[in-house]
């Protein structure tokens, strides 16, 4: 047990902090709208060139090319959180597709896609879920039929974030309708400009269209877009999903929200008394603090396991379930603490924190469901973590 950083890493932290604070004027702000705003692209380029993102991706593909060092990656993430300076671009292209291509892509695919994706010039969306394939993702039915060197794709995807802005899609399609469920799927890359693709925004309970529906009608795409091998898409998708689950439930983000809640309860008053002086609200706050600290310590444990290239076991498997639930509860307490004013939303007088607590309360519920529902997480925890048997398949009628 040693939580202090060695002098080498402490120096690295100071370096990162210096680069960020000395160049914060280059960072885009909320007024610089649009995923490809010149200021955003320039900032991303600056961060890559200084090793603050795409750090371990080889230079030949546009990354910084440093040796993997999780502790340094962690320090960088902490310094972004600490300084509040605009983070590097995220999104499914950078966080999910790039690692998948590095692992399984052809040299041509790596060459063509990784660099523009990292630099924010090529935006991706993920074509996984379908109306009939949610938790049972392998039930995808969107059909890709061979026609010469091409596929003709017909079907529908749902829950597709950034489909409106995306240049490209990484998509699960059924290439062998006669094979077993998991064995007839391929993982294909193609352009969202292809004729026959229609994107419809899917408005959710937050009143925003955080997701879309995507319809494919006779969409002709080259077969060369297959990643890995034809009909081996399920393995590719699983490689990608590992990267997604790691994104959800970050304990440092949870801690930051908790601290915002503390500030809110210190600043707001009810009948002339600070919210934090109400013993019932304060007790709920302290209850959540115990959970926040536990998740933070759990995160340290998982990081250490990764540093040693060991499996974190249960400590890793529970993060998505516990982290998303905790975020939801933090937002829920903020709303209760604000009481009647907690129901205000959108704009208007008396609105607190821009209505963000209600937004989070709803959006976090979406995250409890998305990326593998809480119930799917519990199956994973009990089967992989506790060695309990799978639910037997129902007998065929």
Partner 1 sequence: MEFALSEDQRMLQDSISGFLKDNASLDTIRKIADGDADAKAGLDTGLAEMGIMGLAVPEAVGGSGLGLLEACLVQEVLGYTVAPSGFLAATVAANLLAKGQESIASGIADGEKVFGLALTELSSRRDGAGVTADNGRLSGTSLLADVPTGATHVFVADTSGSFHVAGEWSAKPMRTIDRTRTFQELSFDGVTAEASLQPDASTLAVARLLVAADTLGAAQAMIDQAVEYAKERKQFGRVIGSFQAVKHLCAEMAAKLEPARALVWHAAYAMDTNDPEALVMANLAKAHLAEVGTFVAKTATEVHGGMGFTDLLGLHYWFKRIGVNRQLFGSPEQVRQTAAELQGFLAA
Binding interface with partner 1 (CB under 8 A) = 1-5, 9, 71, 262, 266, 274, 276-277, 279, 282-283, 285-287, 289-291, 293-298, 300-301, 303-305, 307-308, 314-315, 318, 321-322, 375, 377-379, 381-383, 385-392
Q: Is 244 a known active-site residue? A: yes
Q: How far is the CB of 137 from partner 1 (least distance, A)?
A: 18
- For partner 1, the closer of residues 53 and 298 by Cβ is 298
Q: How far is the CB of 258 from partner 1 (least distance, A)?
A: 12
Q: How far is the CB of 274 from partner 1 (least distance, A)?
A: 7
Going from the C-alpha of 264 to that of each of 205, 277, 355, the distances in angstroms are 24, 12, 13
Distance CA 353, CA 341 (A): 11
The dihedral through the CA atoms of 343, 346, 351, 356 has a sign that is positive
Residue pair 274/280 in contact (Cβ under 8 Å)? The answer is no
Angle 155-130-184 from CA coordinates, rounded to 5°: 70
- For partner 1, the closer of residues 66 and 381 by Cβ is 381
Distance CA 269, CA 380 (A): 43
Catalytic residue among 111, 244, 268, 383: 244
Q: How far is the CB of 392 from partner 1 (least distance, A)?
A: 6
Identify the three-state secondary structure at position 339: helix
E strand or H helix at 172: strand 168-174
- For partner 1, the closer of residues 15 and 167 by Cβ is 15
Indicate the pairing of strand 168-174 with strand 124-127: parallel
DSSP secondary structure letter of residue 275: G
Q: CB-side exposure of 131: number of CA atoms within 13 Å?
A: 6
Q: How far is the CB of 255 from partner 1 (least distance, A)?
A: 12
Going from the C-alpha of 252 to that of each of 66, 75, 382, the distances in angstroms are 24, 12, 26
- For partner 1, the closer of residues 173 and 261 by Cβ is 261
Burial of 237 (0-12, 13-18, 19+ CB in 10 A): buried
Q: How far is the CB of 311 from partner 1 (least distance, A)?
A: 13
Distance CA 155, CA 139 (A): 13
Distance CA 218, CA 196 (A): 6
Going from the C-alpha of 244 to that of each of 71, 117, 150, 176, 233, the distances in angstroms are 20, 17, 29, 26, 16
Distance CA 133, CA 206 (A): 23
For residue 86, which of 39, 121, 118 has the smallest C-alpha distance? Answer: 39
Q: How far is the CB of 380 from partner 1 (least distance, A)?
A: 8
- For partner 1, the closer of residues 144 and 285 by Cβ is 285
- For partner 1, the closer of residues 193 and 310 by Cβ is 310
Distance CA 352, CA 343 (A): 10
- For partner 1, the closer of residues 36 and 384 by Cβ is 384
Residues annotated as part of the active site: 244
């Amino acid at each position: 047990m040693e939580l202090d950083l060695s002098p080498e890493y402490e120096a690295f932290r100071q370096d990162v902090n210096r680069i960020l604070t000395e160049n914060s004027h280059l960072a885009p702000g909320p007024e610089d709208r649009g995923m490809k705003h010149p200021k955003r692209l320039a900032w991303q380029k600056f961060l890559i060139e200084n090793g603050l993102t795409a750090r371990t991706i080889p230079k030949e593909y546009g990354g910084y090319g440093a040796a993997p060092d999780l502790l340094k990656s962690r320090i960088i993430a902490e310094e972004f959180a600490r300084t509040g300076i605009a983070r590097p671009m995220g999104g499914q292209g950078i966080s999910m597709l790039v690692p998948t291509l590095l692992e399984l892509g052809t040299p041509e695919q790596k060459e063509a896609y990784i660099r523009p994706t990292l630099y924010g010039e090529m935006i991706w969306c993920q074509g996984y879920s379908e109306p009939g394939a949610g938790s049972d993702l392998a039930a995808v039915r969107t059909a890709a039929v061979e026609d010469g060197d091409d596929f003709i794709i017909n079907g529908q995807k749902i829950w597709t974030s950034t489909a409106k802005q995306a240049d490209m899609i990484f998509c699960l399609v059924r290439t062998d309708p006669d094979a077993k469920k998991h064995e007839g799927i391929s993982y294909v890359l193609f352009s969202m400009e292809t004729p026959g693709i229609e994107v419809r925004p899917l408005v959710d309970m937050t009143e925003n269209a955080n997701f879309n529906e995507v319809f494919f009608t006779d969409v002709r795409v080259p077969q060369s877009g297959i990643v890995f091998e034809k009909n081996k898409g399920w393995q590719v998708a699983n490689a990608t999903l590992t990267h997604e689950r790691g994104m959800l439930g970050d304990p440092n983000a949870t801690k930051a929200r908790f601290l915002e809640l503390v500030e809110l309860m210190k600043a707001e008053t009810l009948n002339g008394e600070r919210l934090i002086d109400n013993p019932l609200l304060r007790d709920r706050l302290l209850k959540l603090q115990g959970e926040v600290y536990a998740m933070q310590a759990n995160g340290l444990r998982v990081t250490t396991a990764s540093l040693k290239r060991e499996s974190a076991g249960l400590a890793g498997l529970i993060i998505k379930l516990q982290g998303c639930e905790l975020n939801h509860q933090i937002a829920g307490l903020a709303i209760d603490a604000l009481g009647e004013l907690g129901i205000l939303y959108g704009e208007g007088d008396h609105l607190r924190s821009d209505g963000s607590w209600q937004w989070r309360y709803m959006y976090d519920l979406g995250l409890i469901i998305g990326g593998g529902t809480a119930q799917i997480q519990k199956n994973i925890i009990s089967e992989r973590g506790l060695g309990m048997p799978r639910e037997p398949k129902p007998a065929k009628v």
